[in-house]
């Protein structure tokens, strides 16, 4: 039985491949690519049918971050000409969320830049969640606020949050090369706090930062071991003005192989194509739907995605359907396991007075929204990030593909949904 037959058989049984098998997926050739996609597609359909879950990002606070994450346009010292504004008011955030839900989004992801929330920030977010739930009681809410302190996850859960996002981003071995202001262990601790509070763990990675195949496999297996229910796969958007502006390492074929590897390692887990799919998959985005069962609708935190209607047309044209609000995303056995784990965590927390740690990771929801905020900083007039310049390999940087978000949350323009 060859590699793909073995991986398909394991995936259909919900079994995990070996590290060597996962590495072999990344080493396949372009001639084998459609076979890889077809094999991963069988696994995807076994657990998720032809449903595509839509998620919508609302950037509650943009830029102004004290952390030094090399990949991020909101980082300390970033010269990227992104929108910068402080906290949206609850009604502004609710208006932005409503646009995403109207476009078909089942989950709204509330994101704020920064190292981590203060208790006052938690109050702001709980007020925002209340405003969103008042308008759309059934909408799922995922929160992404950075590193959590004790009892903050419990407060978010009690206020109605369904999930918490904090991405591992890359392997533990290489984490220190992309960030100096916090550690891989900090991220793991935050996912443990979220999981221990009964929140669904949403944790993923960023590909294209110059990492090795071994790094990619390491982080994906770590996410599996941490019990992430949702794995966002981000493809680096090389913003001009950030240290990784020249890291144009990805091709559409490479992105599809990475998605396939993630699917084989996480056969029954939500795999989401997150930031950078328009930039790197480009015309091959529909093939990604045969592997992943979840995407973001419309724009991202600081960059623009393709038109929301184009996302919906792509899903329909590829023969898939948008997952409805009443449909469970995860297979029943995964949901049962998650509920049992959350009940055990709650019982343990009640017995010892603190939340028990379970599994972990950290980062931004997707690739790190409402009306103009009264404290928003002036918006730069440039519509894209910088000018093209040559990389060391002599190839032009594709900065024509990277467009800074100038609409939606924090602006007076309608959101893209």
Active site residues: 65, 69, 72, 109, 142, 202, 272
Q: b/e string for 81-113 if b means 16 or more Cβ within 10 A?
A: bbbbbbbbbbebbbbbbbbbbebbbbbbbbbbb
Write the Ramachandran bin of 186: left for phi over 0, alpha for psi from -120 to 50, otherwise beta.
alpha
Q: How far apart are CA 190 and CA 185, in angstroms?
A: 9
**Quick one: tokens of 16?**
């995990």
């Amino acid at each position: 039985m060859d590699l793909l037959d073995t991986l398909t058989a394991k995936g259909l049984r919900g079994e995990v491949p070996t590290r060597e098998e996962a590495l072999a997926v990344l080493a396949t050739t372009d001639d084998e690519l459609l076979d890889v996609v077809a094999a991963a597609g069988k696994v995807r359909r076994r657990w998720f049918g032809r449903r595509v879950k839509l998620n919508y990002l609302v950037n509650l606070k943009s830029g102004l971050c004290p952390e030094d994450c090399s990949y991020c346009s909101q980082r300390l010292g970033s010269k990227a000409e992104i929108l910068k504004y402080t906290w949206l008011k609850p009604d502004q955030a609710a208006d932005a969320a409503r646009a995403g839900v109207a476009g078909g989004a089942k989950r709204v992801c509330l994101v704020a830049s920064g190292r981590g929330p203060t208790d006052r920030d938690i109050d702001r977010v709980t007020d925002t969640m209340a405003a969103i739930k008042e308008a759309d009681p059934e909408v799922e809410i995922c929160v992404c606020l950075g590193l959590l302190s004790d009892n903050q996850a419990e407060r978010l859960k009690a206020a109605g949050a369904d999930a918490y996002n904090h991405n591992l981003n890359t392997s533990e071995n290489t984490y220190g090369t992309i960030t100096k202001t916090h550690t891989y262990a900090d991220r793991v601790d935050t996912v443990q706090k979220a999981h221990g509070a009964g929140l669904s763990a949403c944790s993923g990675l960023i590909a294209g930062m110059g990492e090795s195949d071994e790094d990619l496999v390491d982080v994906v297996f770590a996410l599996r071991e941490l019990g992430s229910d949702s794995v966002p796969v981000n493809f680096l958007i090389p913003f001009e003005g950030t240290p990784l502006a020249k890291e144009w390492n990805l091709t559409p074929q490479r992105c599809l192989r990475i998605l396939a590897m993630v699917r084989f390692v996480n056969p029954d887990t939500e795999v989401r194509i997150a930031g950078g799919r328009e930039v790197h998959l480009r015309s091959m985005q529909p093939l990604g739907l045969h592997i992943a069962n979840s995407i973001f609708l419309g724009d991202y935190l600081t960059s623009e995605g393709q038109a929301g209607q184009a996302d919906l047309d792509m899903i329909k044209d590829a023969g898939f359907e948008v997952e409805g609000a009443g449909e469970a995303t995860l297979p029943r056995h995964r949901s049962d396991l998650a509920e049992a784990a959350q009940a055990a965590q709650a019982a343990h927390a009640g017995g010892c007075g603190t939340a028990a740690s379970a599994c972990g990771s950290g980062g931004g929801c997707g690739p790190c929204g409402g009306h103009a905020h009264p404290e928003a900083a002036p918006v730069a007039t440039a519509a894209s990030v910088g000018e093209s310049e040559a990389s060391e390999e002599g190839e032009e940087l594709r900065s024509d593909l990277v467009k800074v978000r100038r609409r939606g949350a924090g602006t007076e323009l309608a959101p893209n949904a």
